[in-house]
Amino acid sequence: MHTSVALLVELGVVLAALSFLGAAARRFGFSPIPLYLLAGLALGPGGVAPVPAAGEFIRTGATIGVVLLLLTLGLEFSVEELSVSLRRHLPSAGVDMVLNAVPGALTGRLLGLDWTGSLALAGITWISSSGIIARLLTDLRRLGNRETPAVLSVLVLEDVATAGFLPLLAVLASGGAWWQAVLGMSLGVAVVVLAFIASRRLRGPLARLLDTADTEQMLLRVLSLTLIVAGVTELLEASAAVGAFLLGLALTGQVADRTRAVIGPLRDLFAAAFFLAVGLSVHPADLVPMLPAALALAAVTGCTKIATGWYAAGRDGAGPQGRLRAGTALITRGEFSLVIASLIGTAGHGSLGPLTAAYVIVLAVAGPVATRLIDRPAAGAATAARARPEQAGGGRG
């Protein structure tokens, strides 16, 4: 009974704090994501106001949050649109890997990590946070922008690569044989490819299954199907987020519109839990010793992600401002970086966990701020352009 009281009170306080932070961020035109992440630091172990009873609930909610974020992102696009974009952006994926994985690998060697640890740090600096970026694009109303398909393609291709990378790293970390690593990689990539094909072939049956006039039934059917697909995808050594995204792609027309409406409030609630959980997973005391190295690595790989986005959006014909928006949107690292660090363990890699934690927090805060600030010059120019005709001709009156 006492645990239930503590859980309820702590969750109530946490939600009230999130409401205040969200309102403050939007008052100044910023995404609330950085504030949610910093709140997670304050509420986690070693923070100023730990919430031990609510912590487990928040971590569970975080898993649901990233799944719902990627489901709703998938709803904004069609399989055909994504197929064309993915083919166009295979070179972008190559540029992304080289520019962002190499700095991590080199840093690992400079810090004295072995080859497995250096490979892990290469993945940490390479993979952007699909969950945070999905929420950021929604907050800033960029889903319809010209550069957004390029950002999305880079994220999806990263997730496909991750489906092979994580099994490879797990085998290497456990001392397994080379053939086990190859088998794990092949299985992970095959699962993603099969899920992509299934999302294209099953659109009709899915629409009939989910289409109902009853809002409660619609919510239950969409949520249950999403969690099952995400769970099965994760079980098969691919990302749960990829499974949810591909399910969103498969939903079109009226079913997609109604899914957005019924899932929206639930997505926002659990997405906030996801951002909190990233902060909760980090002990503030662990950040301080590794902060100089993390800041240096973040500065380098922040620039290389901007270069990646600039190149990828350029392939879609975006202008300079759109290419900058794409680049800054990709800066953020998050859930996959933390998963990679936990997968590799601490044996022989003692500095990797604290470095990853500091690196993720720095970029998870800096990325959304940079993404928002890059819009301000364009907004100012647009306002000035609208004002000039009025000044010249006295307005419409």
Mean pLDDT of the 60-69 span: 88
276 within 8 A of 51, measured Cβ to Cβ: no
Structure tokens at 19: 């409401």
Taking all residues of the chain, what is their mean pLDDT, rounded to a whole number? 83
- 324-380 tens-digit pLDDT: 999 999 999 877 787 787 777 655 566 788 888 889 889 988 988 898 888 765 544
Confidence of residue 237 (pLDDT cuts 50, 70, 90): low
Q: Which two tokens stand for residue 302?
A: 């922040």
The structural domains of the chain, with segments of one domain joined by +, span 59-375
Burial of 232 (0-12, 13-18, 19+ CB in 10 A): middle
Q: Which tokens in the block code for residue 54?
A: 């609510």
CB-count burial class (<10 Å; 0-12, 13-18, 19+) for 242:
buried
Which residues have a Cβ under 8 Å from the Cβ of 177 and sit 6 or more positions away?
171
Interacting residues of 350 by C-beta distance below 8 A, sequence separation 6+: none
pLDDT at position 111 over 70: yes
Looking at residue 2, its pLDDT comes to 56
Tell me the angle at which helices 130-139 and 52-74 cross, rounded to the nearest 10 degrees: 70
Q: Average of pLDDT values for 215-229?
A: 93
CATH code, residues 59-375: 1.20.1530.20
Specify the pLDDT at position 313. 95
User: Is the confidence at residue 143, as pLDDT, over 80?
Assistant: yes
Distance CA(188)–CA(250), nearest Å, equals 21
Give the pLDDT of residue 392: 41
Higher pLDDT pick, 71 / 379:
71
Predicted TM-score of the model (pTM): 0.76
pLDDT at 388 over 50: no
What's the burial of 181, exposed, middle or buried (CB within 10 Å: 0-12/13-18/19+)?
A: middle
